[in-house]
A = this chain, B = another copy of it.
């Protein structure tokens, strides 16, 4: 498939551009009736991505706001920093914020924009695989607090999203693999053929076509349920266990912590196991196929029995829960999901044990 044929994907009131995206960004900026432009980057995207954008934006003046890179920067303190810069630079209600970066930049920038003067326009230029396939649709903005991911945020749609494959070439392979986990999840929950295609593709740099398929799948789910009342919970597959493992790693691994995708891969293994255990329909052989692909791509992470209770506590704090139960999205088969599965603490412990014994 020629990428020139990839049409913009229509999400909730805005387009996701995958073809000639930086020129589309320039068009957008030129056609919008904006008083000022702001670009939000992190220390890496300033170096690796901003020059490509600047090349296109010739003659346009803007103010740059840069934050430090990494999930540990997705905090209210950095958000306050962005708000104060917007104030100091004289942003008004007709200003546009252009978020250039991974999920931390697009989530935090989206939250800052959606709450500045009760909401100014923003667009996202996701620069990682993860943010291209995950943060590009859905309208979720947010920051972390007290080690709980995205606990503070809004549902606010960007005015457009621009996906440029060139940015992926600057990423370390571990970062690419992190995003790939969400692509694999899209296959597992919604499209067995896509899962097969991913298994058999060269994934060192995912093609724009594969990225587009992921965006289409996520977009279809999001449009059917913008505020996560039902269908959208499909996207939580792997995330109940995965978020807990990710948070634990962020808090405890001093040297190097798990990436989002590495944690979600662990979560998908545990929750695929729970699917079989709780007879949702997933077969043993589908479980084995899932485990085989994920363990081939992602390194084994050591989880000690003594850590299980702390992980369970984190799962209880997950914002997806209601009351005192722990809520999971499981698989009925590869390509179909089942939401609102209540899992007991024992079952979740057992699933961690299964992973640990692989």
Contact B118 A155 (CB under 8 A): yes
Contact A153 B94 (CB under 8 A): no
Q: Chain B residues with Cβ under 8 A from A92's Cβ?
A: 319, 321-323
| Beta-carbon contacts under 8 Å, A107-154 to B | 111, 114-119, 140, 142, 145-146, 148, 150-154
**Size bracket, chain A contacts:** 20 to 34
Contact B35 A155 (CB under 8 A): no
Min CB distance A153 to B, Å, is 5
Binds B, one of A76-84, A175-183, A274-282, A348-356: A76-84
A53 within 8 A of B: no
Contact A140 B118 (CB under 8 A): yes
A87 within 8 A of B: yes
Once the chains are docked, how many angstroms separate the CA of A118 from the CA of B317? 15
Min CB distance A75 to B, Å, is 10
Contact A323 B117 (CB under 8 A): no
| Beta-carbon contacts under 8 Å, A317-353 to B | 317, 319, 321-323
Once the chains are docked, how many angstroms separate the CA of A345 from the CA of B128? 47
| Beta-carbon contacts under 8 Å, A71-114 to B | 76, 80, 83-84, 87, 90, 92-94, 111, 114
- For A146, the closest partner residue in chain B by CB is B87
Min CB distance A321 to B, Å, is 6
The CB with the most chain B CB atoms within 10 A, among A35, A114, A115, is that of A115
- For A95, the closest partner residue in chain B by CB is B322
Q: Chain B residues with Cβ under 8 A from A118's Cβ?
A: 140, 142, 150, 153-155, 227
Once the chains are docked, how many angstroms separate the CA of A42 from the CA of B117? 25
Min CB distance A62 to B, Å, is 16
Q: Chain B residues with Cβ under 8 A from A116's Cβ?
A: 151-152
Min CB distance A197 to B, Å, is 33
- For A112, the closest partner residue in chain B by CB is B152
Once the chains are docked, how many angstroms separate the CA of A322 from the CA of B114? 18
Q: Specify which of B87, B114, B140, B322 is in contact with A93 (CB 8 Å cutoff).
A: B322
Q: Chain B residues with Cβ under 8 A from A322's Cβ?
A: 35, 92-94
Once the chains are docked, how many angstroms separate the CA of A68 from the CA of B161? 42
Min CB distance A212 to B, Å, is 27
- For A155, the closest partner residue in chain B by CB is B118
Q: Specify which of B83, B152, B227, B317 is in contact with A115 (CB 8 Å cutoff).
A: B152
Once the chains are docked, how many angstroms separate the CA of A115 from the CA of B76? 12
Interface string of A40-71 (1 = CB under 8 A from B): 00000000000000000000000000000000
Once the chains are docked, how many angstroms separate the CA of A76 from the CA of B155? 20
Once the chains are docked, how many angstroms separate the CA of A152 from the CA of B117? 5
- For A88, the closest partner residue in chain B by CB is B146
| Top 3 A-B pairs, shortest CB-CB distance | A117-B319, A118-B153, A35-B323
A-B contacts besides A84-B145, A84-B146, 13 pairs, CB < 8 Å: A35-B323, A87-B146, A87-B317, A92-B323, A94-B322, A114-B154, A115-B115, A115-B152, A117-B151, A118-B140, A118-B155, A119-B154, A119-B227
Residues of chain A whose beta carbon lies under 8 Å from any beta carbon of chain B? 35, 76, 80, 83-84, 87, 90, 92-94, 111, 114-119, 140, 142, 145-146, 148, 150-155, 227, 317, 319, 321-323
